[in-house]
Chains A and B, each alone.
Chain A
């Protein structure tokens, strides 16, 4: 797998700490929803650092994709990508990578997506892919997020929900909830899993992405709710993992 030089064609701040970057990559082979790419930065003396970031955009025929990067205070690559890069800059990428945490339009079962924070990124690619192919397969998203201001792709999520064509979205706020929100800020628990996710009897495939403790907790709740372990696909990132 070779490094390719892409050109940044747009940058867009999603939140105070997250930025989406769209890249044109002339020889890009295309990707599946859920895959990630390696991004490499190189200093003038030749020192380089690379990290993996999930692709946020739907697969498409044009040689272009979007990543979303959450800035980590102690990160090495994410501060540069969220603060320094500008339209027109070249950026080296390699990929796409990963063949497990992916959604194929041919899948015919209900899909349960569960995101913690910036774990939404690869799941967003799946929802966008579903919309792009006009799939009728029903999706549910349970999105655990610190506070309303931390929601990624807020406009896109509103539009997906408003389209009312089979993507149902439930927000779970962990620190600050909007005014008049019925559920006080709290982590996702068994009651919310029962209320907001597919019953295990529907045999959904579940995609869970977020920080390690979040994924551990959700996977345990899903199996306790009767979902077969082999129907639960997970992707995790560590505290200093600088992934995404």
Chain B
């Protein structure tokens, strides 16, 4: 426990709400990104899976939207300390996207329009844990929130849920992405409060 702040009582969340340590609840949907919001026309949008330098899967928007989608309801936790509960999305599961991909790689680099990258263990994208989401709260995903499509990996801090996603590259070796190279934790488990480099 920290030192007591004289005269501070704070505002606790309702006791039936369980948040990761150090998080507070918001009903807004704050925006965090490193630069301008890219505008990605659907006509040129694509999503690829590459194994090293070889593109092994490629979808344009129509082909991507023809894939079966799911509508997960999940809690999201941003490293800037806000959490938002029971958010509803529509997206294509990474299990679906990887259905025909065989690999011995253990890591991925996720790539976005606007050159943002983030890194994850491949197993964190599999098993119903991750989606490429294109709708939020029943509406097409707004550009400032990552539209046309963003990664959704709600069990990790939200910077791992890369906005404006356009592909993943399978990696034998882990390689830190954008925020991971700038002082943020390589894995980012909110329940272990893995915010920063230790």
A contacts, CB < 8 Å to B: 1, 3, 5, 40-44, 46-52, 76, 80, 84, 89-92, 97-101, 212, 216, 219-220, 222-223, 229-230, 232-234, 236-243
**Beta-carbon nearest neighbor of A238 in chain B:** B30
Q: A52-B80, A92-B3 are in contact. Are A212 and B8 (CB under 8 A)?
A: no
- Chain A residues with Cβ under 8 A from B33's Cβ? 234, 236
Please determine whether B80 and A241 come into contact, CB atoms closer than 8 angstroms.
Answer: yes
Q: What would be 6 A-B contacts, judged by CB atoms less than 8 Å apart?
A: A1-B198, A41-B8, A80-B7, A219-B37, A223-B36, A229-B38
What's the count of A-B pairs with C-beta under 8 Å?
A: 117
Distance in Å: Cβ of A200 to nearest Cβ of chain B: 13
Please determine whether B197 and A1 come into contact, CB atoms closer than 8 angstroms.
Answer: yes
Mostly, the B contact residues are loop
- Chain B residues with Cβ under 8 A from A219's Cβ? 35-37
Distance in Å: Cβ of A213 to nearest Cβ of chain B: 9
Please determine whether B182 and A76 come into contact, CB atoms closer than 8 angstroms.
Answer: no
Please determine whether A236 and B31 come into contact, CB atoms closer than 8 angstroms.
Answer: yes
Q: How far is the CA of A43 from the CA of B144 in the complex (A)?
A: 36
Distance in Å: Cβ of A215 to nearest Cβ of chain B: 8
B121 within 8 A of A: no
- Chain B residues with Cβ under 8 A from A220's Cβ? 36-37
Please determine whether A43 and B182 come into contact, CB atoms closer than 8 angstroms.
Answer: no
Q: How far is the CA of A11 from the CA of B161 in the complex (A)?
A: 39
Please determine whether B3 and A222 come into contact, CB atoms closer than 8 angstroms.
Answer: no
Distance in Å: Cβ of A148 to nearest Cβ of chain B: 29
Q: How far is the CA of A48 from the CA of B8 in the complex (A)?
A: 9
Distance in Å: Cβ of B100 to nearest Cβ of chain A: 34
- Chain B residues with Cβ under 8 A from A240's Cβ? 26-28, 30, 82
**Beta-carbon nearest neighbor of A75 in chain B:** B11
- Chain B residues with Cβ under 8 A from A234's Cβ? 33-36
* A-contact bits for B70-95, CB 8 A (1 contact / 0 none): 00000000001110000000000000
B20 within 8 A of A: no
Please determine whether A80 and B5 come into contact, CB atoms closer than 8 angstroms.
Answer: yes
- Chain B residues with Cβ under 8 A from A232's Cβ? 35-36
- Chain B residues with Cβ under 8 A from A5's Cβ? 3
Q: A52-B81, A216-B37, A238-B82 are in contact. Are A43 and B32 (CB under 8 A)?
A: no
